[in-house]
Structure 1
Amino acid sequence: MRIIIAGAGDVGFHLAKLLSYEGYGITVIDKDSDKLRYASNHLDVQTLQGNSTSYSVLNKARVSKADLLISVTSSEETNLTTCILGKKLGAAKTVARVSNSEYLLQQEELQLAELGIDELISPELLAAAEIKRLLKESAFTDYHEFDKGKLSLVGVKINSSSPLVNKTVQETAYLNPNFSFIPVAMLRNNNTIIPRSDTYFRVHDHAYFIAQSKGIDEVLEVANKKRVDIRNVMIFGGTPVGFHAARLLSRKYRVKLFETDRERCIQLTETLPDTLIINADGRDLEVLEDENLGEMDAFIAVTRNSETNIISSLVAKNNSVKKSIALVENIDYIHLSQNIGVDTLINKKLIAANSIFKLLRKGDVLSLASIHGADVEVLEFEVHHNSSVCGKALKNCGFPKASIVGGVIRRGTGVIVTGDFVFEDLDHVVVLSKPQCIGKVEALFKEK
């Protein structure tokens, strides 16, 4: 597959990194020579300096031979124009990054596909949807459902009071008598570990488990965590992410939104009738206390300043708010959540890149999830009667060492599996894998 990526910023670079593990022929276009040099030095990609809206640049990139053209520059106009022009020149499929939500909400009416734009991605809308998902199970730092919760991926921070501390996976088996969950990853000092029987749990680890529905409460118990109902939510920042988060969350929760700009507050009041808009600085502790910060169940900081979001979230946690989520622009900050006390740090650019990666996997993978800050992807495959794994025991399938099977959904029931488990036709298999092994894992489920 030949892929052209217009834009070598955070979204483009992370996407190129994910795709480069697949062995695709990737060309990255950008006007910034420094960004291209960095991409060339760190990834197995070709680079081309120039404007992606230029006919000559796209021709030089051989857009007529491209299976996919993805435009993710910081300019919405550039992305739309690149896709329209690229499609006219022969690109098989196009994806454009946009910030104006109207394009997404009126996609059919605008007939964008006829113009040459096949898919739209909005980092702001995706980040808001991610925030909504993270609030569903507030006790966890991360939460993904597979097949409507028949299996779930859950993340918890291991504190000193957990009975898991300083024990191996094998030594903690007595805490899981019903075998309703299994550890599949640990994030420790910015390193992602695929656990085996002799892997130790340590204080401050972020541990991730695949669990049956009945196993979720058992994970909370061994991690010494308590499930909390979210009712009251405070959002700091009337940015597009803040607006979309309030729009989604106000359908279920009582939401207050702080914004320092008066004119923006007026706009938000007109468009968010179910949200209380407060024209005040969310960094002012006295103001927050006046608005009952201590009674909030969740605090979400989504201003345009990463440091402001982190600090205000820490203030919220210090005032007994149960769940904190901070938006950060610097991808390097994502790993800090393990050490600084914010429950979850999210980056809209990483979320957007992962969302595009999922688009490419449609058909081959039933669902795909990413873990914030961890160098792994979680994928759900379907077993076909003529795929390599069908009829074989898990231990004999040859899964790469940098991957682990978390569980199987068979005839509507989630099952945590061991090495003797034999795969059957139509099983849905949840696998956690480091990016460089996804292609090998995927090959095991391909129809012959």
Structure 2
Amino acid sequence: MRILVVGAGEVGSSIAGSLADAHEVVVVDVDPERVESLTYSQDVLAVAGDGTDLDVLEEAEVGKADVVIASTDDDETNLATCGTVDMVSDAFTIARVEHTNYLETWREHRGAFGVDFMVCTDLLAAEAIVRVVGLPTAHDVDPFADGCVEMAEFDVPADSPLAGDTVAEADRFDELTFVAVIPEGADHASVPHGDTVIEGNARVVVVGRPTSVRDFSRTLDPESAASEVQDVVVVGGSTTGKLTAEALVDRGISVRLIEFDEARARELAELLPDVTVFSHDATDPEFLSREHIQDADVVVSTLGTDERSLLAALLSKREGADRAIAVVEQARYVDLFETVGVDVAVNPRRVTAEEITRFTRERRAENVAIIEPGGAEVVEVEVDDESVLAGRTIEEGVSALPGGVVVGAITRDGEYVTPRGSTRVEVGDHVVAFVQADAIDEVTAKL
């Protein structure tokens, strides 16, 4: 497949890097130095120029493209690019936007702006935050099979009851499968075996029925997962903060929101009648103490600048908040935030890049979650007559696939089926499997 990516910033470069191994990728960007750098660092063809310029698009051979992804940091540029492409090409167009009004218009009138698929950075970030809030101790959560299956990533605390156990010893849950273990400092996820030791500070990836995933969470870190999340403080009235607060209220969670700008605070109070809104500086320790930030189960910091978001998150933790999630604008700071005390750092651009990459891959799969580091994936596939799993046991089917594949869950007619080596897979089953990065295309084709 030929994919044209317009915009080579964090999002575009990440998308290009994720897709270049399996597809012919062309990248267009207005910055010649960025184009030159990308040419040397990625296996892509790069063109310098404005993606809204028809001459530039023709130089990039837009007429041969199967998919065009507009991923610059400017909404109007992305929409104009897709509109231009729609006039001169049959390519499937994907646009990234930050403003939700464009997304709302597009949802009401599919195909508006010449866009076939639209992703909203702020909304995706909010959804990622809410999923993590809903599962205490989780680092990332993705639903599969219409919610019947969850994939979750967990950091293993050094003092966890499971630290030092083998996978066989930790596997106490009938409806849960360990699909990957990432040792501290490792650059890729590895498939665990029964004798694989789960070390403290490692990361584990599990797939299973949501209730079993929650039971595992409680066993992994009993103190942090002891109670349900009831009180969340959102620091910052950005669009991401507003969307996060709305979604949490919809889940029945009590939300307090702190916004420094008085006019914005009044606006949010009107828009969010079920949220308690404060107009104050969230980096003021006296204010945090006075408003009992220590009673919060989770603090979500979305202040717009990484320095202030980090400060607010760390101050909240120091005052006694159980957990802190921070929105990080610069992807390179994600590891730093989590190293110095933020429990989960969410980078909107990374989330957006993953969503666009996921959608591109979903043309072969029902759903996809990307596992970092290393780019491994958890994919959901509906089994058809041509699948190597059809009519065979899992053990037989997996033997026909490359190494590094783990079947984590199966649903049949909406019901969860615990995967074991002897479990026979039927046509129509939904299979959720972990796949190593270097085998993704071959595995999804065979599944």
Q: CA RMSD for the aligned pairs?
A: 2.3
- TM-score, normalised with respect to structure 2: 0.91
Structure-2 residue corresponding to 1:333: 333
Q: Which residue of 2 aligns with 1:69?
A: 68
Structure 2 gap ranges (5+):
none
Report which stretch shifted further, 333-342 or 398-407. 333-342
1:208 counterpart SS class: strand
Q: Does 1:408 align with 2:410?
A: yes
Distance in 1 separating the partners of 2:372 and 2:248: 21
Shift of residue 9 of structure 1?
Answer: 0.5
Match of 2:304 in 1: 304
Residues 228 and 337 (structure 1), Cα distance of their counterparts in 2 relative to 1, 3 Å cut: farther
In 2, the alpha carbon distance for the partners of 1:245 and 1:224 equals 25
Q: How does 1:54-93 map to 2 (within 5 A)?
A: 54-93=53-92
- Which residue is 2:343 aligned to? 343
CA contact (8 A) 2:180 2:189 kept: yes
* Cα separation, 2, equivalents of 1:399 and 1:334: 34
**Residue identity matched to 1:58:** L
- Give the secondary-structure state (helix, strand or coil) at the position aligned to 2:349: helix
1:207 to 198, 204, 211: 204
Aligned residues: 440
Does the 8 A contact of 1:127 with 1:351 survive in 2? yes
Given that 2:136 and 2:217 are in contact with CA atoms closer than 8 Å, whether structure 1 keeps it comes out as no
Deviation (angstroms), 1:221: 4.6
Residue 237 of structure 2 corresponds to 238
What residue number does 2:159 align with? 161
* 3-state DSSP of counterpart to 1:405: strand
Paired residues of 1:150 and 1:412 also in contact (CA < 8 A): yes
CA deviations over 1:177-230 (Å, ceiling 9, x no partner): 554322212332252322322322111112121233452354135413234312
1:409 Cα deviation from its structure 2 partner: 1.8
Once the two structures are TM-superposed, the CA of residue 327 in structure 1 deviates from its matched residue by 0.8
* Equivalent pair of 1:220/1:227 in contact (CA under 8 Å): no
Report how far residue 28 of structure 1 moved. Answer: 0.3
User: Are 1:181 and 2:176 an aligned pair?
Assistant: yes
Counterpart CA distance in 2 for 1:179 and 1:364 is 29
Distance in 2 (CA, whole Å) between partners of 1:34 and 1:89 is: 28
**Within 2, Cα distance between the matches of 1:328 and 1:192?**
22
SS at match of 1:106: helix
- The aligned counterpart of 2:442 is 440
Deviates more, 1:92-101 or 1:135-144: 135-144
In the alignment, the residues of structure 2 paired with residue 212 and residue 247 of structure 1 have an alpha-carbon distance, to the nearest angstrom, of 26
**What TM-score comes out, normalization by structure 1 length?**
0.91
Q: Superposition pairs for residues 105-124 of structure 1, below 5 Å? A: 105-107=104-106, 111=109, 113=111, 115-124=113-122
Partner of 1:377: 377
Report what 1:248 is aligned to. 247
C-alpha contact (below 8 Å) 1:204/1:339 kept by paired residues: no
Contact 1:236/1:302 (CA < 8 Å) preserved in 2?
yes
- Paired residue for 1:7? 7
CA distance in 2, matches of 1:430, 1:257: 37
Match for 1:69: what amino acid?
V
Matched, 1:128 2:130: no
Deviations 1:139-180 (A, max 9, x none): 42222332344332223222233343233324x1xx435543
Q: Contact 2:137/2:221 (CA < 8 Å) preserved in 1?
A: no
Secondary structure of the 1:184 match is strand
